[in-house]
A and B are shown apart, each in its own frame.
Chain A
Amino acid sequence: DVKVTQSSRYLVKRTGEKVFLECVQDMDHENMFWYRQDPGLGLRLIYFSYDVKMKEKGDIPEGYSVSREKKERFSLILESASTNQTSMYLCASSPLAELNTEAFFGQGTRLTVV
C-alpha cells in the first residue's frame, strides 16, 4: 500500500518561529511537492523537487524553503512563521511526470500561526 506520511496533523506555532514540516514517501518516487490549500483557492504549489538535492520554486515560494537530502524525504521550512502562513499544507509525490500518473498525497498538516 503506497504511502506518503507527513510528520504532524496539527501544529500551532508562534509568529517568528522557524517551522519544519516533514514528508516521507515509500514509493521510490522521483517527484515530491509541497502545496498549501486555503478555502476558496485551489491547491497552490510552493516548491517541488524532481531529484535529490534538486528544488524548483512553485507559484508561491516566498517565505518558504525546502530540503531534499534523501529521495524519500522532502522538508518544508518556514524561516520565520507569519500569521498569513496559517493554512493546510499538503505533501505529494509522483513518479516521473512524463508517465502522466497520479500524485499521491499525505494526510496534510494544519498549521496555525498565532
Chain B
Amino acid sequence: GQNIDQPTEMTATEGAIVQINCTYQTSGFNGLFWYQQHAGEAPTFLSYNVLDGLEEKGRFSSFLSRSKGYSYLLLKELQMKDSASYLCAVLDSNYQLIWGAGTKLIIKP
C-alpha cells in the first residue's frame, strides 16, 4: 500500500530552527509537496520537489532524497505565525496526490 509518515506534533521556540520529516512509500513518484495549514483554514502551497536536493525559499527550505523516500521541511527564524500544521503529499505514478496526516507545529515564545 501507499504510505506517508510524518510526526504528529512538534514543539519549537520562537527564533529557532525546526526540521519536519516526511518518509514515503508510494507506487511511483512525480514529486513531493509541502503545504501549510493554519487551524480552521485551507492548506496553502509551500514547496514542490521532484529532484534530489535542497530548495530554498526565504525562511523555508525543502529537501528531497528519492532513493531514501525521504523529505524534510526546514523552517528558520521561527515566528509565532508559523504555528500551523504542515502537510506532506506525494504525487504518485497516476498523478494522484497521497497525503500524510500532517505535523502540528507549536511555537513557544
* Chain A interface residues (CB < 8 Å from chain B): 4, 40-45, 90, 97-98, 100-108
Residues of B within 8 A of A40 (CB): 8, 101
B30, A105: Cβ atoms closer than 8 Å:
no
A42, B45: Cβ atoms closer than 8 Å:
no
CA distance A44 to B2 in the complex (A): 13
Residues of B within 8 A of A108 (CB): 40-42
* Chain B interface residues (CB < 8 Å from chain A): 4, 8, 30-31, 33, 35, 40-45, 48, 50, 87, 89, 91, 95-102
Residues of B within 8 A of A100 (CB): 30-31, 48, 50, 91
A102, B48: Cβ atoms closer than 8 Å:
yes
The CB with the most chain A CB atoms within 10 A, among B31, B43, B50, is that of B43
19 intermolecular pairs with C-beta atoms under 8 Å apart: A40-B101, A41-B101, A42-B98, A43-B87, A43-B89, A43-B97, A44-B99, A45-B96, A90-B43, A100-B30, A100-B31, A100-B91, A101-B48, A102-B35, A102-B48, A105-B42, A107-B41, A107-B42, A108-B40
CA distance A84 to B83 in the complex (A): 29
Residues of B within 8 A of A44 (CB): 99
Known: A97-B95, A102-B33. A42 touches B100 (CB 8 A): yes
CA distance A43 to B99 in the complex (A): 6
Minimum C-beta distance from A103 to chain B (A): 7
Cβ-neighbour of A105 out of B43, B95, B102 (below 8 A): B43
Minimum C-beta distance from B38 to chain A (A): 11
Residues of B within 8 A of A107 (CB): 41-42
CA distance A97 to B48 in the complex (A): 14
Residues of B within 8 A of A43 (CB): 43, 87, 89, 97, 99
